[in-house]
Amino acid sequence: MQAAPVRATAIPSFTTALRAVESLLMSSGQRTARRNAWTSVLEDRRRAKDRVEAQRVLDQSLSHSLSARP
């Protein structure tokens, strides 16, 4: 019994396929603008998450310091 032949080319990922379609449909400037916008959205989400975490830490420390008072 012979082994199955090995594929010489990898199957593209979904992201790779989307980028290929995107490159056919959009000009380079539009692609760059869309990617920049998405990067900004992700960065805004990260900053919002950091703000929530900082507020939680401040609230905890405030409640701890108030409960520690005599």
CA distances from 41 to 16, 36, 37, 47 (A): 21, 9, 6, 10
Q: What is the pLDDT of residue 20?
A: 84
DSSP 8-class letter at 1? -
Paired tokens of 53: 């975490």
Tens digit of pLDDT for each residue in 28-48? 788 889 889 999 999 999 999
Q: What is the pLDDT of residue 39?
A: 96
The structure's pTM equals: 0.54
CA–CA dist 25, 31 (Å, integer): 9
Mean pLDDT, the chain cut into blocks of 10 residues (70 residues total): 66 84 80 91 97 96 76
Q: What is the pLDDT of residue 26?
A: 77
